[in-house]
Amino acid sequence: MPKFPKFYGMTTVGERGQVVIPKQARKLLNIKSGDKLIVTSGPQGKKIVNFIPADDFAQEISPKD
């Protein structure tokens, strides 16, 4: 696992609060139009630290048999 996060570029928040995920990141992470992403913040809530695919998030928090 890399020591530091991968940098994909910068994005701008639009008037409606939307952001565009850079193409390289979408391709590498297999993010497609219509995918749902969970957004999480850091411990102090001062920055976004993750966009997690909703399906992956649901699997992680669901009870294990």
What are the C-alpha distances in Å from 47 to residues 27, 31, 38, 62, 63?
24, 21, 14, 26, 29
Looking at residue 31, what is its pLDDT?
92
**pLDDT at residue number 18:** 92
Per the model's pLDDT, the better-predicted residue between 9 and 61 turns out to be 9
pLDDT tens-digit map of 25-64: 899 889 999 999 988 888 887 888 888 888 887 777 766 6
7/15: higher pLDDT: 15
Q: What is the pLDDT of residue 3?
A: 73
Specify whether the CB–CB gap between 49 and 41 falls below 8 A.
yes
